[in-house]
């Protein structure tokens, strides 16, 4: 049976770290605050917005929620972004997705102040990440490697050595999760395979994942990865968040991994919920604190090879 990597437990320790970083910032005369911006009524982004408010409140990081109606235009959203760029109380801005199809993500992301772009969606920040010198590490990919690093440390394995010998497969290649995860795996000197829907359609998915030491799954497809897709030595990180309706009509959240099936086979596995999710919110707020510190002190981007 695989070891279960407990994200809730790891999040308690990370919360302590973020609180200490916040205290240090405040003692230094700095401050920070997150603004979340949501257009319309998407269920998932409304849920994420509420979670960030709750976690921010617990940490002592102010979170302001800006909501625009579904009818808002790109010009309306750009006005909001520019106002937040110039707002001294705000050190981090998160644009919740999805945006309505008529609004260009690229134009809105490009209008963000890169120093406040805590999810690293501005091309300058995405480029810095790809170069291995990120200003901010996007929260989901950061959480994947936070859990991996932490778990390897707990097993007493030499983390740097493990990554140098590892083959890591990232299933899913989105700009917000899959690609940043590839960048972080590369920064650790691992060999990396990046696959998407075409690997599944061509029947090759298992061929890639079975030979992998680490499988990171971010496809948004419940049950995509089963026991036959992984080796007995694999560490499987499940990023997926999918609604699943039980026979009695109860809606639960499930990942992209068939949990029981992979639990029987792999070396270690993250559950959903209680795996990557709890770390993600904390990480975004951590980036918001870091943005406050950067504004106060001015810090140059530094390499992420090895420890992040
Ligand atoms: P996305 O839809 O933008 O991208 C999905 C990617 O997976 C694409 O590259 C697509 O080609 C690939 N894919 C789709 N079907 C596939 C298949 N059958 N086989 C292989 N690859 C396939 O999604 P995203 O924003 O990257 O999110 C992925 C999942 O992670 C979703 O379930 C989302 O809810 C979840 N998510 C979780 C967190 C968290 O904090 N845990 C954060 C963000 C996203």
Lowest-confidence segment of 43-52, 61-70, 280-289 by average pLDDT = 43-52
Output the residue whose Cα is nearest ligand 1's atom 18: 197
pLDDT for the residue numbered 307: 43
pLDDT for the residue numbered 43: 82
Q: What is the mean pLDDT of the chain?
A: 95
Mean pLDDT (whole number) for 135-143? 98
ipTM (interface pTM): 0.99
Model confidence at 282: pLDDT above 70 = yes
Q: Which of 212, 219, 270 to mutate to test the pocket of ligand 1 (most atoms within 8 A of CB)?
A: 219
Q: Residues 6 or more apart from 177 whose CB is under 8 A from it? A: 138, 140, 141, 218, 239
pLDDT band at 308 (very low <50, low <70, confident <90, very high): very low
Tens digit of each residue's pLDDT (9 = 90 or more) over 100-133: 999 999 999 999 999 999 999 999 999 999 999 9
Kindly give the distance from the C-alpha atom of residue 98 to the centroid of ligand 1, in angstroms, as a whole number. 13
What is the C-alpha to C-alpha distance for residues 113 and 281, in angstroms, rounded to an integer?
Answer: 21
Residue among 150, 145, 137 nearest 168 (CA): 145
Say yes or no: do domains 27-116 and 139-278 share a fold.
Answer: yes
Share of the chain above pLDDT 90, in %: 94
Ligand 1 pocket check for 193: Cβ under 6 Å: no
Tens digit of each residue's pLDDT (9 = 90 or more) over 239-279: 999 989 999 999 899 999 999 999 999 999 999 999 999 99
DSSP codes of every residue in 153-220: HHHT--HHHHHHH-EEEEE---TTTHHHHHHHHHHTT-EEEEE-HHHHHTT-HHHHHHT-SEEEE-SS
pLDDT band at 299 (very low <50, low <70, confident <90, very high): low
What is the C-alpha to C-alpha distance for residues 95 and 36, in angstroms, rounded to an integer?
Answer: 6
pLDDT for the residue numbered 297: 80
Q: From the options 3.40.720.10, 3.40.50.10860, 3.40.430.10, 3.40.50.300, give the CATH code of 27-116.
A: 3.40.50.10860
Kindly give the distance from the C-alpha atom of residue 110 to the centroid of ligand 1, in angstroms, as a whole number. 23
Mean pLDDT (whole number) for 221-226? 97
pLDDT for the residue numbered 44: 85
47 versus 38: which is more confidently predicted?
A: 38
Kindly give the distance from the C-alpha atom of residue 239 to the centroid of ligand 1, in angstroms, as a whole number. 8
Fold of 139-278: Rossmann fold (3.40.50)
What is the C-alpha to C-alpha distance for residues 217 and 41, in angstroms, rounded to an integer?
Answer: 27
Report H helices in 28-136: 43-59, 74-85, 105-111, 123-130
Residue among 183, 187, 184, 221 nearest 205 (CA): 221
pLDDT for the residue numbered 304: 64
Kindly give the distance from the C-alpha atom of residue 92 to the centroid of ligand 1, in angstroms, as a whole number. 24
Tens digit of each residue's pLDDT (9 = 90 or more) over 143-194: 999 999 999 999 999 999 999 999 999 999 999 999 999 999 999 999 999 9
Give the domain ranges of the chain: 27-116, 139-278
């Amino acid at each position: 049976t695989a070891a279960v990597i407990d994200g809730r437990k790891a999040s308690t320790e990370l919360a302590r770290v973020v609180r200490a970083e916040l205290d240090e910032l405040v003692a230094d005369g700095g401050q920070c605050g997150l603004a979340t911006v949501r257009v319309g009524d998407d269920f998932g982004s409304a849920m994420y917005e509420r979670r960030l408010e709750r976690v921010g409140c617990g940490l002592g990081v102010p979170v302001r929620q800006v909501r625009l109606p579904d009818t808002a235009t790109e010009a309306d959203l750009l006005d909001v972004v520019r106002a937040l760029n110039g707002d001294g109380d705000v050190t981090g801005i998160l644009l919740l997705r999805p945006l309505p199809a008529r609004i260009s993500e690229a134009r809105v992301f490009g209008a963000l102040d890169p120093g406040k772009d805590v999810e690293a969606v501005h091309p300058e920040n995405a480029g810095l990440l790809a170069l291995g010198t990120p200003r901010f590490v996007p929260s989901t990919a950061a959480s994947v490697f936070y859990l991996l690093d932490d778990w390897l440390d707990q097993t007493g394995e030499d983390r740097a050595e493990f990554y140098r010998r590892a083959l890591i497969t990232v299933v899913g290649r989105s700009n917000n999760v899959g690609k940043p995860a590839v960048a972080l795996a590369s920064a650790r000197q691992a060999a990396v395979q990046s696959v998407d829907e075409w690997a599944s359609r061509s029947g090759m998915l298992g061929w890639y994942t079975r030979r992998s030491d680490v499988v990171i799954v971010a496809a948004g497809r419940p049950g995509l990865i089963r026991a036959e897709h992984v080796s007995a030595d694999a560490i499987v990180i499940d990023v997926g968040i999918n609604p699943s309706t039980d026979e009695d009509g109860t809606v639960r959240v499930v990942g992209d991994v068939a949990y029981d099936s992979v639990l029987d086979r792999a070396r270690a596995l993250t559950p959903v919920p209680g795996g990557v999710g709890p770390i993600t919110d904390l990480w975004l707020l951590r980036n918001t604190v870091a943005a406050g510190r950067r504004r106060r002190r001015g810090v140059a981007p530094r390499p992420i090879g090895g420890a992040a």
